[in-house]
């Protein structure tokens, strides 16, 4: 006899965590809702929609195999779907859900009367993070990360960091290697559910992303076997002809629940011990998972909903044409990165930060427009993770709440850390002139435009001093106007 509805959002797809951890197949009806708003409400990348929907449908089927009664409902909205489920039972029963990952969904479900169990899809309870954050003068991730290492007992022996250092970042900033063979990436197998979803979406079936827990676990093991050992040194580099380098490609599964960070860490430590992998790589990867990921989620909840609307630099340029069409630029790096996103809805951390966000920052694109575009186009995008990464880390729209300074970069950085510049029509060493790299021009123009805002920030002093030393500022300003116009039109 059914006495509860368990509602499973598409990012809680896990049998052992969230509301299913204590579910009973005899008395619980499990409900998943494919809402029209979710599918057609925005201009979502089809690969992303495919991944989300196919994963949810596979999960529903798996629940049935485990003996659960399951309703996979198509409805206009989540709430309409929940009403449908209630009606089908012909009686009023409580609806249980794990605390949602976004503030808006939390509020909507709460208003509808859903009862929550704690969200345990992270390693850090929300109140524990709040407690840490409320005691900080500035929210330095590294401090939180060391707390995590000690609290969770990861890579710590007798209170000391394994390998003698907490952080091996200084060993991990190598440019792309030359004459290097990158190990192959896992191709996922497809089944009739995948084929059906792809057909419904009119989407060409690809094999990059798993849509089952088994596929997600296979990806984790593939990473640990072939990529883990060399993850660290090249994590900040961007190759021209290799799309994933040594990155793990697990963010979509961590974010939709198919795998849990605790098992990622347990498997990583196991592989490290068994294979004696380089500590600089293992530490770097662990830092991403127990440090950055948890910190970003904690900050999202700590800073609240209004944070997403911040626009401290009053950046109001319309989204650049090139974000919507990789061919609308001659800039090799931007073209390459956007083309990767068009293909797989993914690119690694440095292109997200130092190419896409950097371009949005120095051209003054409206941060909310940029946020919306990123949300729609990435396979692993969720509100909780995109908002702090873009509003705080990427575009400094929060005026310094997360990071103490903005991180604009010119062509010199891109030339050092990527392979794009050698064959580009623009010269990263030039900041003015017809073939000057737009990043180099706009880097200085950005500092020039915001000189007043940044002059109180001592961490920007060096850069502003550099600006004062420029002898071609007038010429550079003219070039910047031309470049910005070209980026708006899509012909730079």
Instruction: Provide the binding-site residues for ligand FAD, judged by CB under 6 A.
Output: 247-251, 254-255, 288-289, 292-293, 296, 348-349, 352-353, 357, 374, 378, 380-381, 385-386, 389-390, 393-394
Residue 345 Ramachandran class (φ > 0 left, ψ -120 to 50 alpha, else beta): left
Comparison of 251 and 440: residue with beta carbon closer to ligand FAD: 251
Show Cβ contacts of residue 152 under 8 Å, excluding neighbours closer than 6 positions.
123, 265, 290
| Phi and psi at residue 20, to the nearest 5° | -85, -15
Quote the least distance from Cβ 252 to ligand FAD, whole Å.
8
| SS3 label, residue 206 | coil
Q: Among 197, 258, 484, which residue's Cα sits nearest to residue 362?
A: 484
Tokens 């995109």 correspond to what residue? Answer: 386
Q: Closest CB to ligand FAD among 250 and 315? A: 250
Give the nearest distance from C-beta 253 to ligand FAD in angstroms.
8
If one counts every other C-beta atom within 10 angstroms of the C-beta of residue 25, the result is: 14
Shortest distance (Å) from residue 184 CB to ligand FAD: 16
Beta carbon of residue 388, minimum distance to ligand FAD (angstroms, whole number): 8
Beta carbon nearer to ligand FAD, 206 or 374: 374
Which residue, 223 or 454, is less far from ligand FAD as judged by CB? Answer: 223
Q: For residues 291 and 280, what is the distance between their CA atoms, to the nearest angstrom? A: 15
Cα–Cα dist 374/387, whole Å: 10
- Residue 30 has φ and ψ, to the nearest 5°, of -95, 130
Tokens of residue 165, six digits? 């250092």
Nearer to ligand FAD, 251 or 335 (CB): 251
For the bound state, the minimum distance from the C-beta of residue 6 to ligand FAD, rounded and expressed in Å, comes to: 25
Q: In angstroms, rounded to a whole number, what is the distance separating the alpha carbons of residues 247 and 235?
A: 7
Closest contact distance (angstroms) between CB of 48 and ligand FAD is: 10
Give the three-class secondary structure for 31.
Answer: strand
CB closer to ligand FAD, 345 vs 483: 345
Count of CB atoms within 10 A of residue 84's CB? 15
Nearer to ligand FAD, 377 or 432 (CB): 377
Nearest-approach distance from CB 314 to ligand FAD, in angstroms? 20
């Amino acid at each position: 006899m059914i006495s509860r509805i368990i509602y499973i959002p598409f990012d809680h797809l896990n049998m052992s965590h969230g509301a299913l951890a204590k579910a009973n197949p005899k008395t619980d009806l499990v409900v998943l809702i494919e809402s029209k708003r979710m599918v057609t409400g925005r201009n979502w990348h089809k690969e992303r929609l495919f991944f989300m929907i196919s994963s949810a449908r596979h999960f529903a089927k798996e629940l049935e195999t485990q003996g659960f009664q399951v309703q996979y409902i198509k409805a206009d909205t989540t709430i309409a779907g929940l009403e449908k489920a209630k009606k089908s039972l012909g009686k009023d029963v409580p609806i249980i859900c794990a605390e949602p990952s976004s503030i808006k969904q939390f509020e909507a479900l709460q208003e509808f009367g859903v009862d929550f169990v704690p969200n345990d899809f992270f390693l850090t309870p929300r109140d524990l993070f709040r407690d840490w954050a409320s005691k900080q003068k500035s929210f330095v991730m590294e401090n939180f990360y060391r707390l995590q290492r000690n609290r969770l007992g990861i890579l710590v022996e007798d209170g000391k960091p394994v390998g003698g250092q907490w952080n091996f970042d200084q060993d991990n900033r190598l440019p792309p290697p030359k004459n290097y063979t990158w190990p192959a990436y896992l191709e996922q197998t497809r089944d009739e559910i995948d084929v059906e979803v792809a057909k419904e979406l009119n989407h060409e079936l690809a094999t990059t992303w798993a849509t089952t827990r088994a596929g997600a676990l296979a990806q984790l093991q593939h990473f640990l076997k072939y990529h883990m050992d060399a993850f660290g040194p090249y994590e900040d580099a961007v190759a021209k002809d290799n799309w994933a380098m040594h990155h793990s490609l697990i963010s979509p599964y961590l974010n939709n629940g198919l795998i849990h960070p605790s098992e990622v860490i347990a498997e990583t430590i196991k592989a490290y011990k068994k294979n004696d992998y380089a500590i600089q790589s293992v530490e770097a990867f662990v830092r991403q998972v127990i440090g950055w990921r948890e910190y970003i989620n904690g900050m999202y909840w700590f800073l609240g909903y209004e944070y997403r609307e911040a626009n401290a630099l009053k950046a109001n340029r319309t989204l650049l044409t090139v974000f919507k069409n990789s061919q609308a630029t001659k800039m090799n790096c931007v073209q390459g990165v956007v083309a990767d996103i068009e293909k797989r809805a993914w690119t690694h951390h440095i292109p997200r930060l130092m190419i896409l966000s950097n371009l949005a920052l120095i051209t003054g694109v409206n941060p909310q427009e940029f946020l919306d575009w990123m949300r729609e186009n990435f396979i692993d995008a969720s509100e909780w993770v995109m908002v702090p990464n873009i509003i705080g880390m990427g575009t400094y729209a929060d005026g310094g709440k997360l990071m103490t300074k903005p991180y604009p970069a010119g062509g010199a950085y891109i030339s050092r850390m990527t392979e794009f510049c050698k064959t580009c029509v623009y010269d990263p060493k030039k900041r003015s002139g017809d073939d000057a790299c737009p990043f180099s021009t706009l880097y200085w123009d950005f500092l020039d435009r915001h000189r007043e805002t940044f002059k109180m920030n001592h961490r920007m002093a060096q850069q502003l001093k550099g600006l004062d030393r420029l002898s071609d500022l007038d010429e550079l300003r003219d070039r910047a106007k031309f470049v910005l116009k070209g980026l708006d039109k899509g012909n730079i």
